[in-house]
Amino acid sequence: MKQILIPKLLRHKGQEKLTCLTGYDAFHATILDESSVDMILVGDTLGLMVQGHDSTLPVTLEEIIYHARIVTRCATTKLVLVDMPFGSLQADVALNVEQSIRVFKDSGAGALKMEGATSEILTTIRHLTPMGVPVCGHIGFQPQSVHLSGYKIDGKTLPDQQRLLEEAQRLQDAGCFAIVLECIVDEVAKLITQSVDMLTIGIGSGLGVDVQVLVLHDLLGMTTGRMPSFVRQYAQLQRTALAAVNDWVDDVRSLNYPSLGESYQNPNQSLKSSEEMSEKELAKTVKFP
């Protein structure tokens, strides 16, 4: 197995920062596998970045498995985490365990990620970890619960801080090896990081976490619209791609594309039927490209 395994990643805690980016297809996975990033998350942000939805909620189990399979096929050296989508984890723990095992097995991922710290989620994790299924928790802002919570920064009050610390501890006790801290006040994220042995994977949660994660499309400028303030863009691929498409259309319209070198010419000046051609001439006509 070429994939980096969890014990090796855990050794970095408190030593040096780790990184994680989302990826949903072969293009992303190939780039990320070649990069120095440590983990890839096949997140349910798939719904927003790839499927054109306005939330993560419509993503199905089949869709996340389909995308995760592509990513694990193309990124063979990184730890790939896969999100359990909205509705796949409910009150029925036996069903949760069954669905989780299905995603783990069919996707080829190295770990599952689950939003929330309800008693059903904790019991599900308690069942899965002894079976060899690594689980990453997710607290703070949980996009799957956006209809109830709204978009909010968590950990601003003492009771919220206390609740977050307790949730992190419960997830660790249940068996999680890591936990996503999304949009949590920086000093609370730091406190959680210092209070657990798990890796804390922060997004919009400041410097004090073990691992920084971002959505690949945000980092590369592959999205339009308002960006959360924690995003730093390192490229403007949306703009570059739009300009490239428009340049090509202009070239086609002005007969500047294709050039002679981008077309195939008949090497024989006069057109002959295939019966009239020598074997050598015939071979030239099928030469490709």
Pick the piece of the chain touching ligand KIV (CB under 6 A) from 37-45, 170-178, 256-264, 274-282. Answer: 37-45
Phi, psi of 78, deg, nearest 5: -100, 160
- What is the CB neighbour count within 10 angstroms for residue 181? 33
Q: Is 202 in the site for ligand KIV (CB under 6 A)?
A: no
* Residues 164-193 within binding reach of ligand KIV (CB under 6 A): 180, 182
Are residues 83 and 41 in contact, defined by beta-carbon separation less than 8 angstroms? yes
The answer to whether 43 contacts ligand KIV (rule: CB under 6 A) is yes
Binding mask 6-35 for ligand KIV (x = CB under 6 A): ----------------x-------------
One character per residue 130-169, x = contact with ligand KIV (rule: CB under 6 A): ----------------------------------------
- Binding to ligand KIV by residue 45, rule CB under 6 A? yes
The CA-based dihedral angle spanning residues 69, 85, 137, 185, taken in that order and rounded to the nearest 10 degrees = 120
| 34, 182, 275, 279: the active-site residue | 182
Q: Nearest Cα to 204, choosing from 214, 194, 196, 217? A: 214
Nearer to ligand KIV (CB atom), residue 38 or residue 182? 182
125 in Cβ contact with 157 (< 8 Å)? no
Question: For this structure, is 182 an active site residue?
Answer: yes
Distance between CA 148 and CA 153 in Å, rounded?
14
Closest CA to 16 of 209, 179, 197: 209
Q: Is 13 helix (H, G, I), strand (E, B) or coil?
A: coil
Find the radius of gyration of the CA atoms of the chain: 25
Nearer to ligand KIV, 153 or 277 (CB): 153
Least gap, CB of 102 to ligand KIV (angstroms):
19
Contact residues toward ligand KIV (CB under 6 A) are: 22, 41, 43-45, 83, 180, 182, 203, 213, 215
